[in-house]
Amino acid sequence: MMSRRGPYAKGEAKRQEILDVALEVVAEMGCRKASNREIARRVGLSQAGLMHYFGSREDLYVAVLRARDERDDAAFWLPQQDIRGFLAIMRHNSQVPGLVQLYVEFSAEASIGKHPAHGFFVERYAWLRERFIGFVRFAQEDGTFGAGVDAGQVADVMIAAADGIQQQWLLDRDLDMVARLELVWEGLAAVSRGAVPTV
Amino acid sequence: MMSRRGPYAKGEAKRQEILDVALEVVAEMGCRKASNREIARRVGLSQAGLMHYFGSREDLYVAVLRARDERDDAAFWLPQQDIRGFLAIMRHNSQVPGLVQLYVEFSAEASIGKHPAHGFFVERYAWLRERFIGFVRFAQEDGTFGAGVDAGQVADVMIAAADGIQQQWLLDRDLDMVARLELVWEGLAAVSRGAVPTV
């Protein structure tokens, strides 16, 4: 007896195959036109066939960003749920320049309004902000952070610094993103332990 | 006797008039298609006529970004050449959302390669980095910063935080960008005075 979930499951499996391939292709090539062609080629579809599974180029790339977050989550955040998990992702980012390009381009466009990635980035900021608030709690428990700082503000500036430093790194691949973010984190820790305001 | 510089000077004057108008229009509306129409209308040209002075939409908007830096420089940086000058610009930015949108969009696209704004942003980062290195020197002279931090790294992370926080602000206009950047700066000051590393 044929499973009624058969055709749907088959479509889902193909969609997942496309996402796995797209993650690899984008990591190397970014989200230029050539990437669409290469993804289609590797999964044995025409570019129109590819769009059958994702609706539009933008929807495909939002799905890639979402799949990447899920993969990074499993690989880097589950093992160490404090700031080191985030720094491990930033370290990994320097191996996948095309994904950094995609992230920088789409996050900028999404902040501007009607872009298909707008909803994704609004949700993602909220989710990442909660993560960072958790990192601050962890750090307060282990004593590296004190009580003298608002965890939400720490989250805002760490996310901002991470977004901005990736943009700089695209222009200068020798920039050590992890060292820069460690510096910001150290500074915030010092403020939380009662450093004196300077401005 | 007709001045030989006449026609050129006239072209330059029109170009400057367009830039002044474009700064106002973009501040309100950003760099969408409607802005091109509105700029052309206000200076009494067709959109094709507008492009006669700037070559392309992208070149016009790069010229707008450059004109804006010059204006901000005169208005906010000349009066106070330390970090407060930069914070004054960030405070002013919340009054010109369209210019923030243009900056966020073009800086992201420019980090990706062949965009017409690429050269502008490479130069701008180098220029802004020197500015921030100067801010650190000022702060070291007045004693708010110590010697325990690399001024270039401070520059990198302050620029990154400013870029990233503008992107967040576009999604949430209640975010206090200046307060967030003051927090980062305070932290860096604390590190420079010898705070203990935490990561």
ipTM of the complex: 0.91
Closest among B123, B103, B106 to B115, alpha carbons compared: B106
The per-residue pLDDT for A185 is 98
How many Å lie between the alpha carbon of A192 and the closest alpha carbon of chain B?
A: 9
Rg, C-alpha atoms of chain B? 19
Contacts of B100 in chain A (CB under 8 A): none
| A58: exposed, middle or buried (Cβ count in 10 Å: 0-12, 13-18, 19+) | middle
The arithmetic mean of pLDDT across residues A17-32, rounded, is 90
- Which of B157, B159, B186 is the closest to A198 by Cβ? B186
For B123, name the nearest residue in chain A, comparing CA atoms only: A171
Is the model's pLDDT at A3 over the cut of 70?
no
Phi and psi angles of residue A193, each rounded to the nearest 5 degrees, phi first: -90, 5
Does the distance separating the beta carbons of A84 and B198 come in below 8 Å? no
The per-residue pLDDT for B7 is 60
Does the distance separating the beta carbons of A157 and B180 come in below 8 Å? yes
Closest among B197, B188, B78, B8 to A161, alpha carbons compared: B188
The per-residue pLDDT for A1 is 45
Count CA atoms closer than 13 A to A125's CA, side-chain side. Answer: 24
CATH value of A6-192 in 1.10.357.10, 3.90.1150.10, 3.40.50.300, 2.60.120.680: 1.10.357.10
Does the distance separating the beta carbons of B183 and A188 come in below 8 Å? yes
Is the model's pLDDT at B1 over the cut of 50?
no
pLDDT digits (tens, 9 = 90+) for B27-75: 988 887 778 899 999 999 999 999 999 989 899 999 999 999 999 999 9
Query: pLDDT band at residue A11, thresholds of 50, 70 and 90?
Result: confident
What one-letter code names the amino acid at A62? V
Query: pLDDT band at residue A17, thresholds of 50, 70 and 90?
Result: very high
How many Å lie between the alpha carbon of B8 and the closest alpha carbon of chain A?
A: 36
Instruction: Tell me which of A29 and A128 has the higher pLDDT.
Output: A128
Q: Which fold does the domain B56-192 belong to in CATH?
A: Tetracycline Repressor; domain 2 (1.10.357)
Contacts of A198 in chain B (CB under 8 A): 139, 144-145, 185-186, 189
Contacts of A124 (CB under 8 A, 6+ apart): A69
Query: pLDDT band at residue B6, thresholds of 50, 70 and 90?
Result: low
pLDDT digits (tens, 9 = 90+) for B59-70: 999 999 999 999
Is the model's pLDDT at A197 over the cut of 90?
no
- Pick among B101, B104, B128, B156 to test the A interface (most A CBs inside 10 A): B156
Contacts of A168 in chain B (CB under 8 A): 111, 125, 156, 159-160
Is the model's pLDDT at B142 over the cut of 50?
yes
Block residue for tokens 């500015």: B131
Percent of the residues in chain B that have a pLDDT greater than 70, as a whole number = 93
Give the three-class secondary structure for B193.
coil
For A197, name the nearest residue in chain B, comparing CA atoms only: B186
The per-residue pLDDT for A6 is 60
The CA–CA distances, whole Å, from B122 to A6, B109, B110, B163 equal 53, 12, 9, 14
What one-letter code names the amino acid at A163? D
For B113, name the nearest residue in chain A, comparing CA atoms only: A171
pLDDT digits (tens, 9 = 90+) for B149-173: 999 999 999 999 999 999 999 999 9
Contacts of A180 in chain B (CB under 8 A): 153, 156-157, 160
pLDDT digits (tens, 9 = 90+) for A131-178: 999 999 999 999 999 999 999 999 999 999 999 999 999 999 999 999
The per-residue pLDDT for A199 is 58
The per-residue pLDDT for A171 is 94
Does the distance separating the beta carbons of A195 and B187 come in below 8 Å? yes
pLDDT digits (tens, 9 = 90+) for A61-118: 999 999 999 999 999 987 778 999 999 999 999 999 999 999 999 999 998 778 889 9
For A31, name the nearest residue in chain B, comparing CA atoms only: B112
Contacts of A109 in chain B (CB under 8 A): 105, 108
Does the distance separating the beta carbons of A180 and B189 come in below 8 Å? no
Does the distance separating the beta carbons of A190 and B191 come in below 8 Å? yes
The CA–CA distances, whole Å, from A139 to A132, A135, A189, A190, B170 equal 10, 6, 9, 12, 30
Query: pLDDT band at residue B197, thresholds of 50, 70 and 90?
Result: low
Instruction: Tell me which of B9 and A175 has the higher pLDDT.
Output: A175
